[in-house]
Every structure is written in C-alpha cells, then in structure tokens.
Structure 1
Amino acid sequence: MRFLLILLLCLPTWLHAQKSQVINSLPVKSNILQNTQHIAIYLPAGYAKSNTQYPVLYLLHGAGGNYRSWLQDGNLQHIADSFLQASKTQCIIVMPDAAMTFYLDNIHGHYSYETYFFNELIPYIEAHYRCKPDRRFRAIAGLSMGGFGSLLYAMHRPAIFSSCYAMSAAVRTDEDIIKMPLADFRRRYTTALDSIADTDNRITPFLHQNSILYLAEHIPDSQKQLVRFFIDCGDDDPLSKGNALLHILMQEKGILHEYRVRNGAHTWDYWKQSLPQALQFITQAFQQL
C-alpha cells in the first residue's frame, strides 16, 4: 500500500516530464530576408529534463499555410506524441514559415528564402537547441508546396539531409507550367520572379534550376544514393500525375526512393494519415549507419 501511494503521488510529475512541448511562435531575426521570421518547434517528451542531443525534422507547410499549419490543421503534436512514444524514438520537429515563396530564392536576389533556410535557419536551430549536427540526423518533409520544397532542398543540397518525405508534392512538367492560368502562375511565383507578364517565357534556366523533374533528370551519379526519398500522393490528387512521373524518372535514373499511392485527395485528412508513415520512414533513416 505504501509503494502504491508513492507511485500515485509521483505519477503526475512523471506524466508531466513525459509531455512534449510546442513553441507556437518563435521569432527569428533574419538578416538575409531583412525581417523577423516566425517558426514553430516541437520538442519531444523529456527534452527539458535531459542533456540529450536529438535528430531534427524540418516540416514544411503548403501554399496558403504558415508555420502553424501542421499544429492547427495537421494535429502534429498528438500524432508525433503517439508515434514517437510507441516507436521509442525521439526527434525535434521544426516548422518554418515560407509564405508564398515556393521555398525559392528570388531570381534577382530580392527575397532569398532558400538561402535564409540554409544559412540562417538551420544554424539558428542547431545553435539554440540540442541537435545532432550531422546529415544522418537531419531530415526534411512537407506537403504540396512544402512537398516541392522538401524535394527541392534535398536535391539542391543532398549533403545536408539523410531523408526526404514529400506528400502530395507540387511537381509539375514544363507543359503544366505553360498551361497554368496566368492568375495561378502569378499567385505561386510572383515572390520568386517579381513581375510576370502574359507574354513572358515561363520555361527559363531559372525554372529548370528549380524544377524537380529537371533536377532528377540531371542528378549526378554520386548523389543518387545520398538521400532516401519517399513520394506519397493520393490517387484523387490533381498533383498525382507529376508525382507518378517523378517516380518513373527516379526509377529510370536509379535514384533511391519509395513511392506510394493511397486512396485520398489533396486534403488534411490525407496528410494526417501520411504523417505517421513519414515519421516512421524518417526515424528509420536516423537509425541507419
């Protein structure tokens, strides 16, 4: 009875120690972007009580979203808690805010989001949080525009990440880009391209430098096995064609990847089902030698 009483008295403290922590809005001053960025961070259970270093997942939002989207719409804290506790794994999850940059640097250098991400955001996270500063323990994932961003960053800088999980990624062919209505094209790419006229040639060297299909087509042999890729897209998603073409191209080029098509559309219901699978894939990559 005495042991049981002690256990009951200690239980609330133990449960509190095991609870994850979410920082909803952390301001990060950016010299590159000349503003203050805001990010959200998930710290796993026990972070505050330990001296442990943790792997890091950078989780990117989609178009029209922001750094809080995964928390508010994606139920991230509950899903991450459930998966990490069951799998006995842990990681920090960083959710940045890219607005409508498509995670790109501006063509004229006016707003260089990709440069900020690598030159300021990652160093800031690794300086202020107990991260394992090694590519093996660094991953990237995202949905829609964020799926594009995760693929783009993993292909641009494969020495930075061990794995990349792209959900419903905004992968488009040159033909898709040409046929896109001007209003949609401007909404997506004005931040990267500045002014856009109806007569402008959309297929440019800048587009190819930032095209997932072009990058996969021209990936050097030495980089084909560096990053573990996972492409995940619903069968009713309007972006399913681009994702399927990327899978076929990766197969032909011998790029290490997994590809899954599940029942679903371009919705949060689909992405919330994807998140545990993404965490499983990513944490497995963290554990590989």
Structure 2
Amino acid sequence: MSRNLPLLVAALAWLLAVAPAAAGTLDRHAIPSPILGQSIDVRVYRPANAAGPLPVVYLLHGYGGGAEDWTGGGDAQATAEAVFAAPDAVPMLLVMPGVGNSWYVESEKYGAWSSALVQDLIPAIDRLYETRTDRSQRFVAGLSMGGYGALRLATHYPALFRAAAAFSPAVFEDVASAADFPEFQLRFFADAFGEPFEAARFNRANVFAPLKAIPPELAVDFYIMTGDHDALGLWDGALKFFRAARGAGHAVELRVRDGDHEWRLWREELAPALHWFAGLSRSADRR
C-alpha cells in the first residue's frame, strides 16, 4: 500500500488540476417595486465558493429582451465561471433585470424604471446577498438599448456606479426634433420618450450633458465597444460618446470590433469587461 501512495497522490493532483470549476448559482427573483407597482423579474448569478461581500455588476439586456437574455444568448454564466475560476480573479455578483422596452428611463407607457432600479432593485439585492455596497464596487454593463441604459445609469447616478461598460450602445447626441432620427429608430424607442416622440424629454434623459456635470471625485470610467459593421449605425454614437467622455475628463476604453450588431461580439466582450471591472475593484481596495 505504501509503495502505491506516491501514485495515488499524483493521481489526486491530476484530478484536481483537470476538474472543472465549481458551478455558481443562478437565482430567479421577483423583486417588489413600489415605484412601478409591480415586481421586477431578475436573474442573479453568484459565483461558487465566493467568500465575503462581493462587488456587483448590473448586466442589462437590449430591446426586445428580458432577464434571461444574458444567460441565454449571452452565455454569461459560463463566461463568468471561466473568468472567476482564475487564481487572481475578483468574483462578482451578476444581476440581470428584465425591464421590457423601457429604455431604462421614466415614461408614462412603461413606468419609472430608472427610479425603480436605483431605489427598489439595488437596495433589495444588497439585502438578499452579501454585497460590497460602496460605490467603488458597483458596476453596470449592457448591450444595445442596455448599453444606453448602462451609460445612463452611470452618468445620472455617478454616486452609485463606479464604472460602466456599453456594448454596441444605442446612444445618440441630443436632438432638436424627431426628424433627427430615421423612422426605424423612432419605432425602436417604442414611445419611451413620449407619444409622439418628444425631443426635450429625450435630451433630459440622455447621457451627453451629464458627463460635464459629474464632479471629479465621482468620475466614472467607461468601456465602449462597437462593431464597425453595425447595421444600425450605432458605431457613430459610440465614437461620439467616447470623445465626449474623454473631453469631460473621464477615463474611457474604446474597442472597435470587426462585426455587426450581434451576440457574437457581446458574448466575447463580457469576459474582458469583467476583467476590467476587476482591475477597478482592486485599485479601489489598494487606496
């Protein structure tokens, strides 16, 4: 038996080396929202064996999507488990709310979604899970309409979010009238900015003007990715936001990828964005 011990030890070491990382949990919640008068459908991914309070990433879906988009087409759970399995990883809680086609703003048609997310959802998540509740450990990311939502939450609520990542964001400069948009884009807005579209309402909700009003102590870091062949032409707004954020003194990462407005790009960008958030988390802890 003793002669076989080295072989047994070696075999055990090999099994541990090739064993897959433990799977995290994916929880489903209906978070009550007094502001909306309804529940918010949410998926929450929690990494396996994560000790202590976790930083939080709010991961937002696009137009026509819902709470399961990122764990479905986005393959977010598998991506997160691969990222968080690294020895130097910073495990994070991923929170994925379903907001319909609300554009993450306040509207008569969909309700006060912006307020509901910051006043109802965030406190509920902090009660349900052991989270890092300081601003330096809270992040937001999203694709397309959710990319706009991520930038909007970060620019309108910089005291709550340290950084935002936007993949193919549906972001546009302020406009003078509905005529500044093609008809297909007005249909995508789905009356979230008034029925009919109200330019003044859109501009109040938009992300460009708030960049200059954010105080230096609440500076937000941004990660922007766009496809160079985006069929909706959203690369244009992404580049304009990049220039505007840099001009306002914010740190910005820009990635222009070969591709369209597609899940392939968004899936592939999630891991780099999580690594980027981790770097910001570590930097905050070293201060």
Calculate the TM-score normalised by the size of structure 1.
0.86
Cα distance per residue 1:109-134 (max 9 Å; x no partner): 97100110011100000001010110
- Cross-structure match for 2:44: 41
User: Taking structure 1 as reference, are residues 256 and 151 closer, same or farther at Cα in structure 2, changes over 3 Å only?
Assistant: same
Aligned runs of 1:95-174 on 2, under 5 Å?
A: 95-106=96-107, 111-173=111-173, 174=175
Contact map agreement 1:208 1:215 (CA 8 A) in 2: no
Shift of 1:269: 0.4
Residues 111 and 192, structure 1, Cα contact 8 Å, conserved in 2: no
Q: Work out which of the residue numbers 18, 32, 41 in structure 2 matches 1:29.
A: 32
The yes-or-no answer on 1:208 pairing with 2:203 is yes
Aligned to 1:66: 66
> Aligned residue for 1:282?
277
Deviations 1:247-276 (A, max 9, x none): 122233322212121211110001111111
Give the distance between the partners of 2:177 and 2:83, measured in 1 at CA: 37
Q: In structure 1, what is the Cα distance between the partners aligned to 2:192 and 2:228?
A: 30
Are 1:19 and 2:23 counterparts? yes
Aligned length: 274
The code of the aligned residue for 1:85 comes to A
Separation in 2 of the partners of 1:91 and 1:280?
11
Alpha-carbon separation, structure 1, partners of 2:36 and 2:54: 28
Could you list the per-position Cα deviations for residues 154-176 of structure 1 after superposition, in whole angstroms to 9, with x for gaps in the alignment?
00011111111111111113279
Work out whether 1:235 is the aligned partner of 2:222. no
Q: CA deviation at 1:231?
A: 1.1
- Map of 1:259 onto structure 2: 254
**C-alpha spacing 1:160/1:7, structure 2 compared with 1 (3 Å):** farther
| Superposed CA RMSD | 2.7
Render the CA deviation track for 1:62-98: whole Å, top value 9, x for unaligned. Answer: 0011010000101111111111112422010000011
Contact 1:230 1:257 in 2 (8 A): yes
Q: Distance in 1 between matches of 2:69 and 2:214?
A: 36
Given that 2:155 and 2:214 are in contact with CA atoms closer than 8 Å, whether structure 1 keeps it comes out as: no
Contact 1:171 1:213 in 2 (8 A): no
Cα distance change on mapping 1:16 and 1:124 into 2, 3 Å? farther
Query: Is the contact between residue 159 and residue 226 of structure 1 (CA under 8 Å) also seen in structure 2?
Result: no
**Structure 1 residues 186 and 263: alpha-carbon distance in aligned structure 2, compared to 1, 3 A threshold:** closer
Offset from partner CA, 1:181-224 (integer Å, 9 cap, x none): 5564244242452x32xxx6x321x22121123333xx226248
Q: Distance in 1 between matches of 2:139 and 2:165?
A: 8
Contact 1:60 1:96 in 2 (8 A): yes
Which residue does 1:245 correspond to in 2? 240
How many Å separate the matches in 1 of 2:77 and 2:145? 21
C-alpha distance in 1 between matches for 2:92 and 2:243: 32
Gaps of 5+ in 1: none
Q: Which amino acid aligns with 1:258?
A: E
Q: 1:149 to 1:176 in 2, by over 3 A?
A: farther
In 2: Cα distance, 1:209 partner to 1:7 partner: 63
Please tell me whether the aligned partners of residues 19 and 46 of structure 1 are also in contact (alpha carbons under 8 angstroms).
no
Are the aligned partners of 2:32 and 2:120 in contact in 1 as well (CA < 8 Å)?
Answer: no
Q: 1:259 and 1:224, CA in 2 relative to 1: closer, same or farther beyond 3 A?
A: farther
- The 1:175–1:270 alpha-carbon spacing in structure 2 relative to 1, beyond 3 Å, is farther
The residue identity in structure 1 corresponding to 2:32 is K
Which is worse superposed, 65-74 or 223-232? Answer: 223-232
Worse-superposed segment, 85-94 or 169-178:
169-178
Q: Distance in 2 between matches of 1:220 and 1:19?
A: 42
Q: Which structure 2 residues correspond to residues 217-236 of structure 1 after superposition, within 5 A?
A: 219-220=212-213, 222-223=215-216, 226-236=219-229
